[in-house]
Amino acid sequence: MMRLISKNRWTMGLFVVLALLFVVTKIIQPDFGASGVESLARASLPFAFATAAMAVVVIAGGIDLSVASMMAVASVTAAVLMQGASDAMAIPIVILVLVIGVIMGAINGALIVITKVPDIVVTLAMLFVWEGVALLILNAPGGAAADWLEALIVGGTGLLGIPKALIVLAVCVLVVWIPLRRSRLGLSIYAIGSDENAAFRSGIAVGRTRIIAYAICGLFAAMGGLSLTMSTGIGEPIPGPYLLASVAAVVLGGVVLGGGKGGLIGPIVAVFILRLVRMDLTLMSVDPNVTTIVEGTIMVAVVMLGGVLAIRSARS
């Protein structure tokens, strides 16, 4: 039990920070309640999916700069196809969009594995490619979303007073992540991120595993794109600020940029922390430009503190 706690110390710490932030928010804004949590959850949803997408490839020792562009492709594809389509048709459309996400991610991964060009270069190039694709599909915000899909995350609370958006996020992430984490494939993703040579020597198909990691990244990005369309009711071809926000949350969430360490829970909690900090600063009517400075400072300070604590505990 103690070991379980010490292994997940970082995530535990993030939950504590999040709880403290809620207390702070309540003090700043005494009428902050269920509706506040609901809107926070809904606003955080695309960020959370982008972060999950980024976390998977970073754990595998890579990075994907095209996350936000893939989200845009998914968002406009869904919005264009759903315009004028029946509610029943929305189900195959959602499945199609998810498949497109997997294919986009797999293309990213395959290019990295086959060309041996560094991941950061390949995905930077693909950032522009997917951005172009999104604009080709829909050159200005538009399209529609099925009503029942919007109702899945918008308005009110679901089970036990938990915001609907949070339930959708939990279900989507857990359905992908739990089976993966328990499978040999999931271990392989950690393995290639931790030590690629050792993984190869252990008989892991490194290239195939890397492509799959990028494909899962594409899948989460597609979910993020769908969540955008679901919450706004339209498709948005210009990628939002999800790329850098996802890297920030991944780092804050305890995933080491070198790969092999961390999980998905920490980064997703980190997303809520970063969104809540931003909301609090807005509530205190702090200059938005100061807000970004504060966010950056928090990131460096927290990661540095984590490093100091790790050294301390290694010494004792």
Partner 1 sequence: MNEANSAPAVLDAQGVAKRFGAVSALTDASLTVRAGEVVALMGANGAGKSTFVKILTGALRPDGGHVRIKGRDSTVGNPADARKSGLVPIYQEPSLIPDLDVADNLRLGNTPVEPFLRWVEELGIEGLRLDDMIGDLPLATLRILDLARALAVEPDVLLLDEMTAALPTNLVEQVLRVVRQQADAGRSVIFISHRFAEIAQLCDRATILRDGGTVADLPIEPGIEEKIVELMLGAALERGHIVTSEGQPAHATGRTPRLAVSGLSSGPKLRDVGFDLFPGEVLGVVALEGQGQDELFDVLSGFRRADGGTVRIDGQEASFRHPADAIAKGLTYVPGNRAEALLMERSVRENIALPLLARIRHWGPIRMRDEAARVGEAIDKLQIDTRAQGEVQRLSGGNQQKVTIGRWIATGVETLLLFDPTRGIDVRTKRQIYPLVRELAERGAAILYYTSELDEVQLACDRAIVIFNGRVVDVVDAAHADEQTLMRAAYGLTEQDRAEAVS
Q: Which residues bind partner 1 (CB under 8 A)?
A: 3, 184, 187-188, 190-191, 193-195, 197-205, 260-261
Nearer residue to partner 1 within complex by CB, 194 or 291: 194
Q: How far is the CB of 117 from partner 1 (least distance, A)?
A: 17
Nearer residue to partner 1 within complex by CB, 1 or 160: 1
Which distant-in-sequence residues (6+ apart) come within 8 Å of 235 by Cβ?
Answer: 75, 76, 77, 78, 79, 80, 137, 138, 141, 142, 143, 229
Lookup: tokens for 114:
């086959």
Nearer residue to partner 1 within complex by CB, 86 or 197: 197
Nearer residue to partner 1 within complex by CB, 59 or 74: 59
Helix or strand or coil: residue 189?
helix
Using left for φ > 0, alpha for ψ between -120 and 50, and beta otherwise, residue 63 falls in beta
Q: Which of 181, 165, 142 is nearest to 264 (CA)?
A: 181
Are the beta carbons of 209 and 60 closer than 8 angstroms?
yes
Are the beta carbons of 70 and 130 closer than 8 angstroms?
yes
Are the beta carbons of 22 and 214 closer than 8 angstroms?
no
Q: How far is the CB of 180 from partner 1 (least distance, A)?
A: 13
The secondary structure of residue 160, as a DSSP letter, is G
Nearer residue to partner 1 within complex by CB, 237 or 266: 266
Angle of the 90-115 helix axis to the 67-82 helix axis, nearest 10: 150
Q: How far is the CB of 2 from partner 1 (least distance, A)?
A: 11
Amino acid identity of residue 57, one-letter, is: V
Nearer residue to partner 1 within complex by CB, 134 or 191: 191
Residue 162 has φ and ψ, to the nearest 5°, of -80, 135
CA angle 223, 226, 227 (to 5 degrees): 85
Q: Count the neighbouring beta carbons within 10 Å of the beta carbon of residue 290.
A: 10
Q: How far is the CB of 188 from partner 1 (least distance, A)?
A: 7
Q: How far is the CB of 184 from partner 1 (least distance, A)?
A: 6
Q: How far is the CB of 60 from partner 1 (least distance, A)?
A: 12
Nearer residue to partner 1 within complex by CB, 207 or 240: 207
Nearer residue to partner 1 within complex by CB, 235 or 260: 260
Nearer residue to partner 1 within complex by CB, 150 or 195: 195
* Torsion on CA atoms 215, 217, 220, 226, rounded to nearest 10: -80
Q: Per-residue b/e over 207-223, b at no fewer than 16 CB within 10 Å?
A: bebbbbbbbbbbbbbbb
Q: How far is the CB of 259 from partner 1 (least distance, A)?
A: 8
Q: How far is the CB of 190 from partner 1 (least distance, A)?
A: 6
Q: How far is the CB of 187 from partner 1 (least distance, A)?
A: 5
